[in-house]
Amino acid sequence: MARLSADRRHVVRFTLNGQPISAEAEPRMLLTDFLRHTIGLTGTHVGCEHGVCGACTIQIDGSPARACLTLAVQVEGASLRTVEDLAPEAGRLSILQAAFRRHHALQCGFCTAGILMSLDAYLRDQADPRERELREFLSGHLCRCTGYVPIIAAALDAARLLREEAGRA
């Protein structure tokens, strides 16, 4: 039985954006703080810190999840993906990211990383989403700038482009 004591930090091993990671965390450390402060990837944002706003959404084993509702020690052995992994290479945006830019789907950008990570997973499963389904899915994210209309437009446009790309492949 592995009992990790509160008094010290413990090694947590997992995969992050395709790379094996081994880093130390106290049992009480939230995954958000672990990613930002220990690993140094600050693309994952911390908003409400109790699971309501969606800013910290990342992918855990391929599914969107709140990093702030997860302890670092819980992801031992898991595969994590954060917003840093979306762009195919430096200086180039993914299809979804480029659609956000074209449609002005962000203003201050605080909510964007979480929304991108949710939509990236969603569009993988739902190639041709209906607007109503998208709105329901995005109810797990708060955006105080855009009013959501350009976010929906960007998501629908990205879905179309991803379908075209899949058709060519």
Partner 1 sequence: MKPPRLDYVRASTLAEAHAVLAAEGADARVIAGGQTLVPMLSMRLARPRVLVDIMRLGELGRMDETDGHIRVGAGVRQAELLAWPQLAARQPMLAAALPWVGHAQTRNRGTVCGSIAHADPSAELPLVLVALEGSVTLSTRWRQRTVAAAQFFQGLMSTARRDDELIAAVSFPAARSGHGYAFCEFGRRHGDFAIVACAAVVTRSSTRLAVGGVADRPLARNWDGLSDDNLDDALNEFAYDLEARGDMHATARFRRDLVRRMGRETIGEARRWLA
In terms of Cβ atoms closer than 10 Å to its own Cβ (0-12, 13-18, 19+), residue 128 is exposed
Residue 97 DSSP SS3: helix
Contacts of 20 (CB under 8 A, 6+ apart): 13, 14
Burial of 166 (0-12, 13-18, 19+ CB in 10 A): exposed
43 vs 51 by CB, closer to partner 1: 51
Residue 2's CB: how many other CB atoms inside 10 A?
A: 6
Give the per-residue contact string, 78-117, with partner 1 (x = CB under 8 A; - = no): ----------------------------------------
- Size of the residue set binding partner 1 (CB under 8 A): 35
Taking residues 43 to 82 in sequence order and writing x for each that binds partner 1 by CB under 8 A, - otherwise, the string is ------xxx--x--x--x--xxxx-xxxx-xx-x------
Residue 2 in contact with residue 13, Cβ under 8 Å?
no
Stretch that binds partner 1, among 3-11, 36-44, 98-106, 145-153 (CB under 8 A): 3-11
Residue (89 or 125) nearer to partner 1, CB: 125
Residue 154 CB, nearest distance to partner 1 (Å)? 19
Beta-bridge mates of residue 64: 59
CB neighbours of residue 29 within 10 Å: 18
Segment interacting with partner 1, rule: CB under 8 A, options 15-23, 79-87, 105-113, 136-144: 136-144
The DSSP bridge partners found for residue 65 are: 58
159 forms part of the interface with partner 1 (CB under 8 A): no
Q: Which of 44, 112, 118, 146 binds partner 1 (CB under 8 A)?
A: 118
Q: Which residues bind partner 1 (CB under 8 A)?
A: 1-7, 26-28, 30, 33, 49-51, 54, 57, 60, 63-66, 68-71, 73-74, 76, 118, 122, 136-137, 139-140
